[in-house]
Amino acid sequence: MITSIVTEPGYTVVENAPLAARNTFRVPARAELLIDVHDANALPDLFKLGAVKTGSVLILGEGSNVLLTRDWPGVVLCMAARGIRVLQDRADCALVRVEAGENWNDFVHWSLGRGFAGLENLVLIPGTVGAAPIQNIGAYGVEVREFIETVEAFDRHSGARVRLGNAECAFAYRDSVFKRAPDRYFVTAVEVLLPRQRELRLDYAGVREELAKMNIDSDAPSHAAVADAVMRLRTRKLPNPMLIGNAGSFFKNPLMPAAQADDLLREYPQLSTWPALDGQRKLSAAWLIESCDFKGLREGDAGVSSQHALVLVNYGTATGAQIWALAQRIIDAVQRRFGVMLEPEPQVI
């Protein structure tokens, strides 16, 4: 049970806090301290507190990219500050500041509703704006790094708020400096450059086909129409975390040198691959997993979605440890059969 709740200017502290409602897998876990930060100006004083300054700190948004396999013996920090503000409004684009606690999907709709382009492929991705640069979220051929100008964060090393430009964020496929140094940075806001016109990305994972089903000409659809198509695709392919516990795609699509990928394709011509940076190719993790007969598998209340092989689900009372044990079985099976090592997308605690 919760032992106490303390409200201070700018933040709220809960001792022995339950986290089942704070993660989309809905797995049970508790935190020694849960701190919701409502004002980033409170962070310098907050990080001077003993438990926060010296203890283990886990940064949590909406819990849509984390698997908790145990209780957290320290502080869980959640950035709850919200707000969207146009900093510069130019003829061809606008620089927009978004507080870290804003819901990402709400912000995508905000941008489309005001005539901005570019984020339509990233619609319906769960989580907060503050989590977006950490994971460098991406979908349907677009990544958030293409729009980020600056990330504002609190740096535990210096004890001050810092601003990191796009290059300093060291973005990579589902990766960033924030993900590689999770104990250092606490993202407080993101500044994005939103264009008013941008070439559409339609050649990924059935977007054109979905537009055709909607009786929309794929040669000149609106950005809003592309967002509708992506929402239809995601809704059909991915289980809703509001109805069944999951964190979306659990595994990254593995990257491999092109020559090695060609060898695999000669043996398994049905394997889906896509060009990637630096002469690499991206392999379909879903195909690899489904080929190992895991799609639709259920072990107790832990399972693999029958809708999409990349999605692990909690049918009700599975623990994080049970879901992680299933994930490790999948990793081992794919490695044995194909010689390919899968990596989890969410942070596994």
Residues belonging to the active site = 174, 249, 345
Residue that the structure tokens 């099976």 belong to: 333
Q: Are 314 and 322 in contact (CB under 8 A)?
A: no
Contacts of residue 274, defined as CB under 8 A and 6 or more positions apart, other chains included, come to 204, 253, 281, 282
DSSP for 201-214?
--SSTTHHHHHHHT
Total residues found in the chain within this entry: 349
Q: Are 63 and 21 in contact (CB under 8 A)?
A: no
As a whole number of angstroms, the distance between CA 105 and CA 61 comes to 13
Torsion (CA) 234, 237, 242, 247 in degrees, nearest 10: -90
Helix axes 223-237, 104-113, angle to 10 degrees: 150
What does DSSP assign to residue 253? P
CA distances from 196 to 42, 111, 230 (A): 35, 10, 20
Task: Using CB atoms within 10 Å of the CB of residue 223, give its burial: 0 to 12 exposed, 13 to 18 middle, 19+ buried.
Answer: buried
